[in-house]
Structure 1
C-alpha cells in the first residue's frame, strides 16, 4: 500500500509539472513550443480539459498577433532585403494554422468550445514572395556587374540569391541565364602545367602520360581544372608540376639457394610396446599409427629487380601576378620484381612460397622507357591527391 501511494504521488507530481511547464511556456512567450506540446497532448484525446483548450487559444492568439505585428514593422523599414524574412513569418503563421486545423472543433469534456481566429495570409505571402523575387533579381544584376570586374565572391553571392529566388518561382525574367552567368563568373579556373627539368631525360611519351590526368575528377562546383591553355579562358591559378629528377636503378639479379624440408605422412605402421610387441586395442585388434618421413628439396631462386624514382615539386601560382601561393615536394617510385625457382630432390618438401615461384626463368627486365612510364602513372595519381589539397 505504501509503494502504491508513492507511485500515485510521483504520477501526480509529473502531471502538475507538465501543466506548470506548459503554463510557463505561455507566460515566457514560448508560444510555438507550447502549441506543439498542447497539440500532441490533445491529439486523439476524448476527455479534453477546458484549461488546456484555453491555454492553446491564448498561445495561438498571442503568437499570431506578435508575428503579424513584427512583419508590419519589417515592412515599415523599407529595406528590400527584409522580404525573405517577412515571407517566412507569413509561412510560419500558415504552418501553425495547418497544425491546428485538423483538430477542429476542439470541445472540452464540459462543453467548452475553443475559438481560433485564423489569419488569411495568402495575399500577404504572395506580396512578400513577389517583392523578395524582385529584390533577389535586382541584387543579382548588381552583384554580377561586380563579378564581371573580377569579384568572384560577388558572383557567388548573386548565384546564391538566384537560388533563393527559385524558391518563390521557377523562373523570373532571365533569371536562369543570369544564374549560369553568375556561376561562370564565380568559378576559379586552374591551368595544370608540367615543367620538365630533367634535361631531356623525360621522353615525350612520359610527358603525355602525366598530362593525360583526368582533371574532371578534380572539378568542384566553384573550381574547374584544365590542361590546355588554348581554350580562351582567363585562368585564375596555375597548378605547376616541376619534375626535377627521374632516376632509373641498374638491373639487379640475385641468386638465392636454400633448402625446403618437412615431415610428411608416408603410410602407416604397427604401434609397438616397450618389448617390441604389437599393441592391441580394447577389442584385441592391432593398433596402427601414421608413419612420418622427412623429405628435402634443394631450391635455386633467381630474383630480378629494377626501380624508377621521380622527384620534384607541386606549386600553386596566381595566374595574373605569378606569385607562388603554395608549394610541396614529391617523390614517387615504381618497382619491378620477379622470381623464378628450380628445385631438385623431393617435390613434396617445397613450401607454398616456393611452389608459387617455380618456373624456368624470371620475366625479362623492363626497358628504361617502360619503367619511366610506370613512374609517370604513379605521379599522375599523386597529382590528383595533391591538387585536391590546394587551398583554392
Structure 2
C-alpha cells in the first residue's frame, strides 16, 4: 500500500512539474516547446484534469506563436532583402504546421465542459506566393554564382540548385544548370604510380591501388583519373612513388616449450579425515575433482617472412605548377605460420597449443604474393592520406 502511495505521489509531482515547465516555456517566449509539450500530453489523455490545463496552455502558446511569427514576417518583408525569402516562407510553413498539429486534438474542453476555442487561419495563399518568391531567389542566386566561373562559386550554385529542386522540382532549366554547376565545381585529379625500386610491382596490385571507386572517400567535389583524357583540364596531380620494397629472408624459428600443469582428471566422492563420505544438506554425497600434475614438451616451429613497402605521395597544383604537399607512406606485411609437435601427456595442452598440433609447414609465399597480400594495408594508408588532403 505504501509503495502505491509513493508511486502516486511521484506521478503527481512529475505531472505538476511538467505543467510548470510548459508554463515557464510560455513565459520565456519559447512557444514551440510549450506547444510540443502540450500536444504530447493531450495526445495521451485530453480528458483528465491535466488535459484541461494543457488545452488552455496549448491555446495560449499557439496564439502567442502565431502573433510572434506574423510580427517577424512583417519585419522581414519591410526589410525588402532578397535573402529574406527563405525565412518568410519557412515561417508560414511553421504556422501551418502548428495548426495541423492542433486540429486532430479538437474538440478540447475546459474543466467545466465548455469548449476551448482556437482561431485558425488559411495561410495557403501566402505559402504558395512565398514559395514562388523563394524559388525565384534561389534560381537567381544560383545563376549569379554559376556565371562567375569560379569553382567555389560553382559549388555554391550547385547547392542552391539542389535546394531549388527539393523545393520545386523541374523549375525552369534548373536541372541542366545544376549539372553544369557540378561539372564546373569538380577538382579533376590525375593519379600516377611510379616504381623507383628494384622490385616488380604486380599488375594486380597496381590495378587495385588505382581503383579509386573502392576507397569510399565520400568526396563530392573530387574526381580521380588514372588514365589522362585530352578533353579534361586537370587541377591537381597525385604521384604515388614507391621508393623501397624490402623482403626479409625466409625465417624458420624452432623452440622447445616445457609444459607442466595441474589438470582435472575425473572426480570422486569427497571424504573426511577418517575416510567417511561427506554428505550435503539433502543427504547426497559431495563430489570433488581429481587433480593431477601432467607434463610434456611442445616443439613449436614458426615460419615467417616480411615485406616492407616505402612510398611517398606527392600532391601538385597544376594551375600554379607547384608541389603543395608530400606524405610518407609505409606498410609492413608479415607472413607467419605456426605449427608444432608434442611429446608427453596431451592433457597438459591448452586449446591454442592443441590447435598448433593440427597444423603443418606450408610453402613460403613468393615476393609477388607478399606484395599482393600487402595491398589492403597500403590502400588503407593511402586512403588516410587522401582524406587528410581533402580536409586541407
TM-score (norm 1): 0.70
CA contact (8 A) 1:240 1:316 kept: yes
Match 1:212 to one of 191, 208, 215: 208
1:89 equivalent in structure 2: 91
Does residue 77 of structure 2 align to residue 79 of structure 1? no
1:127 is the counterpart of 2:129? yes
How many Å apart are 1:329 and its aligned residue?
A: 2.0
In structure 2, how many angstroms separate the alpha carbons of the residues matched to 1:166 and 1:260? 73
CA contact (8 A) 1:249 1:308 kept: yes
Q: Per the alignment, in what secondary structure is the counterpart of residue 162 of structure 1?
A: helix
* Offset from partner CA, 1:294-315 (integer Å, 9 cap, x none): 8867x87665443222213233
Q: Does the aligned pair in 1 maintain the 2:155–2:182 contact within 8 Å?
A: yes
* Cα distance change, pair 143–336 in 1 and its aligned pair in 2 (3 A): same
What's the CA shift string for 1:259-281, capped at 9, x where partnerless?
A: 77889999xxxxxxxxxxxx998
Equivalences for residues 327-338 of structure 1 within 5 A: 327-338=326-337
Q: CA deviation at 1:121?
A: 1.1
Q: Distance in 1 between matches of 2:163 and 2:381?
A: 39
Deviation at 1:134, TM superposition (A): 1.1
- Alpha-carbon separation, structure 2, partners of 1:51 and 1:265: 72
Partner of 1:240: 239
- 1:118-159 deviations in whole A, cap 9, x for unaligned? 22211010000011111111211111223xx232x2222222
Residues 317-364 of structure 1, C-alpha deviations (whole Å, 9 max, x = no match): 323224333333232223344467677x76869957776666998434
CA contact (8 A) 1:242 1:312 kept: yes
Q: Which residue of 1 aligns with 2:285?
A: none
Equivalent-residue separation in structure 2 for 1:48 and 1:250 (angstroms) = 81
In structure 2, the residue matched to 1:196 is: 195
**Using the alignment, how far apart are the partners of 1:18 and 1:247 within structure 2?**
73
Q: Give the distance between the partners of 2:27 and 2:219, measured in 1 at CA.
A: 48
> Helix, strand or coil for the counterpart of 1:166?
helix
1:144 is aligned to 146
After TM superposition, the score normalised by the length of structure 2 is 0.70
- For 1:281 and 1:125, how far apart are their aligned partners in 2? 95
Q: Please state whether the residue corresponding to 1:389 is helix, strand or coil.
A: helix
Question: Are the structure 2 counterparts of residues 110 and 240 from structure 1 closer, same or farther at C-alpha, using a change threshold of 3 Å?
Answer: same
Give the distance between the partners of 2:53 and 2:311, measured in 1 at CA: 79
Query: Residues 379 and 66 from structure 1, CA distance in 2 versus in 1: closer, same or farther, beyond 3 angstroms?
Result: closer
SS of residue matched to 2:246:
strand
- Paired residues of 1:190 and 1:224 also in contact (CA < 8 A): yes
Query: Residues 150 and 212 (structure 1 numbering): CA distance in 2 closer, same or farther, change over 3 Å?
Result: farther
Q: Secondary structure at the match of 2:316?
A: strand
CA–CA distance in 1 between the matches of 2:243 and 2:305?
A: 20
SS in 2 for 1:88: helix
The separation in 1 between residues aligned to 2:73 and 2:146, in whole angstroms, is: 30
8 A Cα contact 2:294 2:345, kept in partner:
no
CA contact 2:195–2:201 (8 Å) conserved in 1: no
Q: Distance in 1 between matches of 2:162 and 2:34?
A: 34
Distance 1:37 1:195, change over 3 A: closer
- Report the CA distance shift for 1:215/1:26 in structure 2 as closer, same or farther (over 3 A): closer
What RMSD in Å do the two structures reach over aligned CA positions?
Answer: 4.7
In 2, Cα distance between equivalents of 1:253 and 1:47: 83
